[in-house]
Structure formats: structure tokens, C-alpha cells
Structure 1
Amino acid sequence: MRIYRSAGIRLLYLAAALALVEFAFAQQAPWGRPNIPVSTHDRVYAADQTSNTVSVIDPASNKLLGVIRLGNPVPGALSPLYAGQLLVHGLGYSPDSKTLAVVSIASNAVTLIDTATNRVKGTVYVGRSPHEAFFTVDGHELWVTVRGEDYISVIDPNQMKEIRRIELANGPGMTMFGTDGRYAFVCSSFTPELVVVETASHQVVKRISQASPFCPNIAVSPENDEVWITLKDTGKVQVFSARPPFEQLALLETGPITNHLNFANNGNGKFAYITIGGTNQVKVYQRGPSPTLVATIPVGDLPHGIWPSGDGTRIYVALENGDHAVAINTLTNKVIANIPVGQTTQALVYVPGAVPSGNGTDNLVPLGKAANTGHVRLEAAGTALPAAEASAAVNSLGLLDLLEIAAKGLASGAQYRVYLARSNHPPYGDLEPLAIFKANPDGAGIVQALGPLKALVRSGAATAGTLPQRFLIITELNDPSRVVLRQAGLSKGFK
């Protein structure tokens, strides 16, 4: 029997075949290499700022293997720090996938780790408050943005020492390289300018205006045609050409606390994924002459770091105010796994082929107390700011706890005070001040406080020897009677 197929069906088959071919040869960030399928040789690393650990995940099983402990939890560092690292924050990795670079912002350190053994190879100390570090395309240099000062520290990763400095304006935020290695792109966290540096000569060749000063994150497309930067203070993403004259291509309104971004190419097309901390979402834009929002993915409290798998079929997301990382299938844009990690996680990277052989669990330790985080939510109080809301995480650190609140819907540039209250409804009772913060131009803000705060997430009556439950409220700075946010509903307590 002969089967006849219409021209339309034949075209569909052809289109599907072409899509598979395009996917097979797709390039992926950050090196612009062809697809590397997800395997047990790959690793996902998350920088845990409060527990001072690096969480290590096997993406083949989406399981936490353990953590690399670089220092004691935050309260253990409230005295002179003679050993260990403090505020583990930034991540980068070498082109051969053999070396992980970990930036600790409070101890001014860049720790180099062997990915196959999780062993610390050495530590390089740089200037005040480094933020992120990334390797050149040839792997010969590691560029560290020293955000607390005004330069890039260029490190020789073999000698493990600084070999030069590239002077810039105040507050460089992050460096990423084009896939051909010719240019480095450096955004700023304090000065509204994006700088283009010629990699070989280490000379600045272009200064470009940022739409606002505070850029924490930057990515260059796998095709080496676009540079995307996040603007955390105004909730925007700015897109530039990665080729001279480096003109602006787009300015996107993305949302409050726009954190990190990255790219994924798959059978559906070419996409940018952006973490929006204020709305607890990842936004997905299809790349093109006019980037188009195609999906919004709820992920959990305060998404921060984000990185694609080596074949672009997954995106991994760190939740700063959660207690886990999230794996997303990029073909469906659905969450497929939640994976425990350490506390107050910041950057995240996916390293294909990090462990060539063996199980890759050497020198890892259990998560321990860093797995213990409680969660509360705050809602608008009254009618002054009806869109105001916030999420808060209470990270248990033994006798003390670290509270972090991420709020949105506040008045642009206004100052607020955080209190502990006896009640979460009027009259709020005695108020104990915790912290003061100022809202960004987009009405969002993040604030931290340290203390014995487990009572925030204790439900029911107090037991003998414990304090009664307390509640969070946020008021205008100079008038505690004008409450704008109050703790709402049931809390998720400690494990």
C-alpha cells in the first residue's frame, strides 16, 4: 500500500528536521560552544553568602551532593577574621571547566577551587569588596571587578597573583567577555557607564551610558552579537550591540529588583532569562531586533543567580530568600526540580564537564545548619501603599538569626524602618527597631538585620523558656504610627 503525504505535511517534517539541526549546532553561553548534553559529569555551583559555603549540585539527578565550606556562618565573623572567607558571593569558571573562582566580598578574596576534587587550590586577596570574577576566553587571565574601589584586578590563575590593574570609574560591577575574546564588557554598580575594554591591550576603547547607575550583572550572547545588563535600582534591562560602535539596541522594563540574566538557545529559538527578585519570577524574552516577553515563571522568594545548562535545555536559578535552587525546563518553561542549597544564595553557575571521572564528592560536607531557614510574608497595611508587599527569610545561625526582607511597591526613594512588634494588627504594641532602609527608584528595597529572630516564625503559644511570637512591621522612617507593611498569614517555620 502506498501512503501519500500532502505538501503541507512534508513541509512540517522539513521544519521539524531543520529545528533539530539548528538545536544540534546551537551555541550556548558563555563560551559560544556547541551543545553539551546534561550529564553526571556536570556541576551546578551556588554561592551561599550567609552560610559562607558553595553548594554543589549534580544536574543529572538534580540532587545536592554537599557543600564546600569556605568560612563560618556570619555571626562567627563578628571579630577579627584571621582564617576562612566571609560573604561568599560571586562565581566564575575557566574555559576548560577545571577551575571555579569564588569571590568573597567581605574578606576581599578570590578562592580558586579544583572542580574535580572540590579542593581549594589557593586564594588571591584583592581590593575592597570585589564582586564578580570571570576568566578570559583563553583561560590565561581572571578579571575581578573590585566594586568597592575603581579597578579590575587581573589575576594570573597559574601563579595565583595579581599581575595588573585596569583603572575605571568608581564601582565596577561585573566583567564578561565576547565569545571571540576580543572585548571585555564591564558594567558599573555606582557610575552610570558601561565600559568596553580591548582584552589583549587592557585598554578602554569605549564608554557607554547606562540608563541608571546600579548594574550588578552582565552577559554576552553566545553569537557574540549582544550585551545585556541588568539595572537593579530601576527594574530595567539594557541591551547593546557587542560589536562597534556598541550602540543601544533596547531598554526593557523588567520589574523591581531585576537581578541576574543569562541566555539559552534551544529548539524553540534564542532566549534571555532574567531573575526578577521583587515579583519572585523569572522572565523569558525571545531575542531578536525587538526582544519579546514570551513567558513568566514563578520560582520562589527573591530569585538571584541564573545559568543555563551546556545544551540550553535547562536554566538553574538561585533563590536568595529561599532555601533551594530551581531547575527549569527551557522547552516548556516549567519548574522541574527544587534543590536544597545554603543560605542567602547569590551567584550560580553551571559548569559542563566539571568532573571528568568519579563521583565528584571529595571534600564536600553536609549542608548542616545552613538548611534551616524560615519564611514570612508581609502585606500592605492600610491604603497608603496598596501595592506594597514583601518576602522575608529568617536564616538560623545557631543562637542568632539573619533576617533578610525584599520589599516592593514602596514610594520611590523613601526611607523606612523595620520593627519587631507584639502583634501583626493594630494596636501593634511595643515596637523594637531592627533596621532602616531606602527604597530604590523603582520602589523596591532589600534590608537585613541580625539577632535572635526565631520568634518571627514560631506558630502557636510560647513554650517554657521561649519568647512569645513576634511580628514584623515596616513603617515610615519618622512616624512609626504610619505602618506600610505588616506580617501576614501563616509562616513557614524552621525544620
Structure 2
Amino acid sequence: MKHRLLVATTLAAAAITCTTGAKAGQAPNALASPDIPISHKDRVYAAEQFSNTVSVTDPASNKLLGVIKLGDPAPGNFSPLYRGQVLVHGMGFSPDHRTLAVVSIGSNSVTFIDTQTNAVKHTTYVGRSPHEAFYTPDGGEVWVTVRGENYIAVLDAKTYEEKTRVTVPAGPGMQIFSPDGKYGYVCSSFNPEMVVIATRDHKIVGHIKQESPFCPNIAATPDGKQVWFTLKDIGKVQVFDAKPPFNAITAFETGPITNHVNFAQNAKGAFAYVTIGGTNQVKVFRTDNFKPVATIPVGKLPHGLWPSGDGTRMYVGLENDDALAVIDTLTNKVVSTIPIGQAPQALAYVPNAVPEGEGTENLQPLGLAGQVSHLALMPVATDKSGASAAPTSIALFDQGLVQVLQASVTGLQPKQPYAIALSAHADGSGPLESLANFMTNPAGAAIVNSIGQVQQIVVPGNAATDSTRRYLVIAPVVSGKLGAAVQVQTP
């Protein structure tokens, strides 16, 4: 009898523990929402801005299922008769997990995709250079930050048509909602001011000072108490109270090219995960006392991230590695890396996205979207053998006839003009030919893009070009002219 009672008591305790754990709640849902264990019905989506694709990954098998092609790579998309999407970038999903909203910056569009069939249901065109789109928690509206202008485009979630606009400080970067749906938090990419909007009447009800003008990403904790946002130009995170009067809580340095932030709840507590593009790391902080608990090497230029429906995994898009890193949130170790499309930006984990069947309709193979070459630059005076610690990573995304060069640059003087250039010598000596000029941010970092037939002249192995082999370097720009190289290509 005692043995049966002990077993019954143990089972009851286990059931209570399971029930409690099942109510942990992962972003963007409320804390009271049930956890959803990882399954083959779930999907991880990544918006890939140079291949103009959305990759679709099964998190239960850590397998890329294919891509949804929304547009063509360059130079095909330069045609005046071109109809596809350009610079696929932002991403949100409906509360019922049946619709994905994908923002394309270059074509000023929001594409709505059926998660079951991977088919495009509708495309809405908005103002100049939208950045992100998210559904209100009640599913009635989709708010789109029109970063090239000064407003939020509010779309009807059923008709996909714009119903109204909310004027905000110029350059709204992103919006996210409180779990209860009362507030929309909108940070700015051009002004040092964030606003809070009441979702019921679209009125601004709060203002929060940003420590810099460039916020690319914002997230609200599932308990509804805090809002975290990143400052990419100065490498910091700020936190403020999610409820009126929206007081500042804390701010702290995270690292150069601080990109996105998101949350995971697990048996150890509640944690914020922040992608640090300039150091190729994800940093983890407690949300109760803001103490750092882990620094995770993940790959080149981590950008978007999203937790699984049960908080056991954090998925991270690696912009300069064309890959998806999977982090175990209990051990804070990378447990898998999955090849995906070119330069993933925003990421979304959608539980139960495919309630029936395989969910592989309308998907295409990775193809050209998976073709990329990787290079690294080191300071001139440094031993070139340490490429893994290189402050600057470069990806050459193959577009067929041309390549897009993207450099994640760090380790330079802040707020100074530089150029990525070509040298005929491995040590960067001699005349230099500029590819792209840029200005570093206050953290001495920058994201630099160029396009052309770059790969043919910087990658060895081609007998036709080896005699004229050239090397990528970074040099300061002084009085309009290139100075001596300060970073050079590793072997």
C-alpha cells in the first residue's frame, strides 16, 4: 500500500511539474501560453535578402526542406519589367500560425504566405523601404514599419489592404506588441526616440529616449514586464518598463554590430539572447538581474533569432555563413548548423505551421541560393594564421553573372572613412583600387556591400586570372584618397 501511495504521489508531482512547465510561454506569446514541443509540424523560416528567398527548415530533423522563391538574384532583378521581390528581409506570422508576412525592402512589399502550402496568398505594396511586419496579438491587423518614411502602415489582416497610417518619428525600424495586445512598441532607425502606441485607437501614449538613432530590433518579454531593444551602431541593449509610464530600466554594452534580441523560458529561468554580429557570438543575459550567463560562438555575422515553441532551442540566422545555427538553451551550446539561403536576416519559428501532410508543396531546391565564398581580413601587423579570430568577415554571394560582396567590418577607428579595396599584393602594398567606401559607426564597425564580378579576381585556382590575382584590403580614406592598408586578406 505504501509503495502504491508513493508511486501515485510521485506521478502526481510529475504531472504538476509537467503542467507548470507547459505554461512557460515563449515569445511573442504571453507567459501563460502553453509550451509547444518541437515536432515535424513546426517550421523555421528565414528571410534571405540576396537570394530573395525564404528558407523552410524542419526543426525536428534540423533539415532544410527547400526555399520559397520570391524573386531573382541580381542582375536579373535590375530589369525595368521585373515583377519579383527585392531584398527579402523582414518577417512576422499570424497568431493562428497559418500565415507568414514577409517584408521586401527593395520592392516596398509585404508578401503573405500560406504556411501549410508555402504558396503566396497576397502581396501588398506599401511606402518606401519597409523593414518589419507583425500581426497584432488578436490577429486583426498587420503593422508594417515604413522605415524610408515616417509612419506605420496598418493593414487589415483579412483583406491585406492598408486601412490607416500612424505617424511616428522618421525611420521607424521595427514594432512589436505587448503579449496582452494593448501596446505596440516602435523603435527608430533614424531618430533617438522610441514611441509606444495604443493598439485600440492607434494613438501615441509614450516616448522613450534611445541612446543612439539606430535601433534595428525590439522584443517584449512574455511576462509583459519588459521591452528590450538593440542599438546596432553603438553596440548596446536598452531595457524599459513595458507598462506606463514606460520608464527606462537599464542599458549596457553588448558588442559591435548588435543585431537582434529574443527570449527563451526554460527550467533555469527567463533569458534574453542577443546576436552580436561583429564578434560572431550570441550573448545570453538573465531578464531578472541582467547578468550575463553565456557567450556562444555561432558563426559569421549572426542576425535574426527566434525560440522554439517550448524554449528548448534558439535558432540563429548567420548572415555571412548562409546557415542556421541551433542553440540548446539549457547548455547554451550550438547543437546543429543547417545550410540555408543567402544572407538570412529576420527569422521566425512557427509551431504547428503545417498541421497536416508533409508541407513541402511549392518549395524549390537551394540551388544558386546556397552558393557563397568566404574570406577574412586581419590587421596588417597580425599573424595571418588566426583567420577564425579575424575582425572582418566577407561573404561573396554568387548571383550567377556577378557576386554581392558583404563585409562585416570591425576593429577600426570609430566614425572614420574607410574603403574596401583591391591590391595586387598580399600585404596590401602598392596602388589600391576602391570597391566600396564606408564610414564606421561609433563602435568602429560597419556592414559594407558591393556588387560586381569580384570573385573572378580575388579567388585563386583559375589559370586565366592567377597571373593578375588581387587581394581584398581595407584602407583609410584621407582627403579623398586611399591610405595604406590596415586590414589585409588572410591566406
Q: Residue 8 of structure 1 aligns with which residue?
A: none
Q: Which residue of 1 aligns with 2:25?
A: 27
Shift of 1:75: 1.9
Q: Aligned with 2:485: secondary structure?
A: strand
Q: For residue 382 of structure 1, report the CA deviation from its aligned partner.
A: 3.9
The CA deviation string for residues 229-252 of structure 1, in whole angstroms up to 9 with x for no partner, is 000010000001111111111102
CA contact (8 A) 2:255 2:278 kept: yes
Q: State how far apart, in whole Å, the 1-side matches of 2:420 and 2:459 are.
A: 19
Q: Is the 8 A contact 1:455 1:470 kept in 2?
A: no
Q: Give 2:424's match in structure 1, choosing from 391, 401, 422.
A: 422
Q: Say if 1:181 and 1:430 are closer, same or farther in 2 by CA, change over 3 A.
A: same
The residue correspondences of 1:276-295 to structure 2 (distance < 5 A) are: 276-288=276-288, 290-295=289-294
Q: Which moved more, 1:41-50 or 1:77-86?
A: 77-86
Preserved CA contact (<8 Å) 2:263 2:273: yes
Distance of 1:309 and 1:265 partners within structure 2: 10
Query: More displaced, 14-23 or 372-381?
Result: 14-23
Whether contact under 8 Å (1:415, 1:477) holds in the other structure is yes
* Alpha-carbon contact 1:255-1:279 (below 8 Å) kept: yes
Change (3 A) 1:359 1:454: same
Correspondences of 1:120-159 after superposition (within 5 Å): 120-159=120-159
- Give 1:78 shift: 2.1
Confirm or deny that 1:188 pairs with 2:192: no
What is the deviation of 1:466? 6.9
Rounded Cα–Cα distance in structure 2 between residues aligned with 1:145 and 1:314? 28
Aligned residue in 2 for 1:9 = none
Identify the residue that residue 240 of structure 1 maps to in structure 2: 240
Secondary structure, counterpart of 2:463 in structure 1: coil
Q: Give the AA of the match of 1:451.
A: G
Q: For 1:152-176, what per-residue CA distance to the aligned partner results, in whole angstroms no more than 9, with x for missing partners?
A: 0000121121000000110001110
Structure 1 counterpart of 2:339: 340
Instruction: Mark the CA change 1:17 to 1:205 in structure 2 (over 3 Å): closer, same or farther.
Output: same
- Alpha-carbon spacing, 1:79–1:209, altered in 2? closer, same or farther (3 Å): same
2:437 corresponds in structure 1 to 436
Q: Which moved more, 1:181-190 or 1:388-397?
A: 388-397
Residue 453 (structure 2) aligns with: 452
In 1, are the aligned partners of 2:206 and 2:244 still within 8 Å (CA)? no
- Alpha-carbon distance between aligned partners in 1 of 2:57 and 2:22, rounded to the nearest angstrom: 25
The answer for the alignment partner of 1:484 in structure 2 is 486
Label 1:487 to 1:39 Cα distance change in 2 as closer, same or farther (>3 A).
Answer: same
Moved more, 37-46 or 445-454: 445-454
Residue by residue, what CA displacement relative to the aligned partner does 1:269-324 show, whole Å, maximum 9, x if unpaired?
A: 11000000000000000110x30100000011100000000000000000111121
Give 3-state SS (helix, strand or coil) of 2:490's partner.
strand
Deviations 1:350-401 (A, max 9, x none): 0001000100000000111111111011001249xxx982000011111211
2:74–2:402: 8 Å Cα contact kept in structure 1? no
Can you give the 5+ residue segments of structure 1 that lack an aligned partner in the other structure?
4-12, 490-495
Partners of 2:438 and 2:92 in 1: CA distance:
30
1:370 is paired with a residue of what secondary structure? helix
Amino acid at match of 1:24: A
Q: Contact 1:52/1:74 (CA < 8 Å) preserved in 2?
A: no
Task: Show CA shifts across 1:60-85 (max 9, x none).
Answer: 10100000000101321223254110
Residue type at the aligned position of 1:26: A
Residue identity matched to 1:389 = P
Work out whether residues 303 and 318 of structure 1, in 8 Å CA contact, stay in contact via their aligned partners in 2: yes
- Identity across the alignment (%): 56
User: Which range is displaced more, 466-475 or 390-399?
Assistant: 466-475
- Equivalent AA in structure 2 for residue 329 of structure 1: D
Count of residue correspondences: 473
Aligned partner of 2:391 among 389, 395, 399:
389
CA distance in 1, matches of 2:351, 2:279: 30
Matches within 5 A, 1:214-293: 214-288=214-288, 290-293=289-292
User: Residues 457 and 468 of structure 2 are in contact (CA less than 8 Å); yes or no, is this contact kept in structure 1?
Assistant: no
Post-superposition offset of 1:456: 5.9
Please give the alpha-carbon distance, in whole angstroms, between the structure 1 residues aligned to 2:62 and 2:12: 34
Q: Retained in 2: the 8 A contact 1:264–1:312?
A: yes
Aligned positions of 1:25-424 closer than 5 A: 25-32=23-30, 33-288=33-288, 290-382=289-381, 389-424=391-426
CA distance in 2, matches of 1:453, 1:82: 24
Instruction: Name the SS for the 1:163 alignment partner.
Output: strand
Q: Which residue of 1 aligns with 2:385?
A: none
Partners of 1:118 and 1:363 within 8 A in 2:
yes
* Contact 1:74-1:86 at 8 Å conserved across structures: no
**Superposition CA RMSD, Å:** 2.0
CA distance, structure 1, for counterparts of residue 465 and residue 300 of structure 2: 32
Give distance in 2, aligned partners of 1:84 and 1:171.
25
> For residues 166-189 of structure 1, what are the alpha-carbon distances to aligned partners after superposition, in whole Å with 9 as ceiling and x for unaligned?
001100011100010011100110
Secondary structure at the aligned position of 2:486 is classed as: strand
SS across alignment from 2:392: strand
- Distance in 2 (alpha carbons) for counterparts of 1:456 and 1:269: 51
Provide the secondary structure at the position in 1 that maps to 2:75: helix
Displacement of 1:467: 6.7
- Structure 2: how far apart are the matches of 1:313 and 1:404? 32
Would you say the 8 A contact 2:22–2:36 is kept in 1?
no
**CA displacement at 1:340 relative to structure 2:** 1.1
Q: TM-score, normalised by structure 2?
A: 0.93
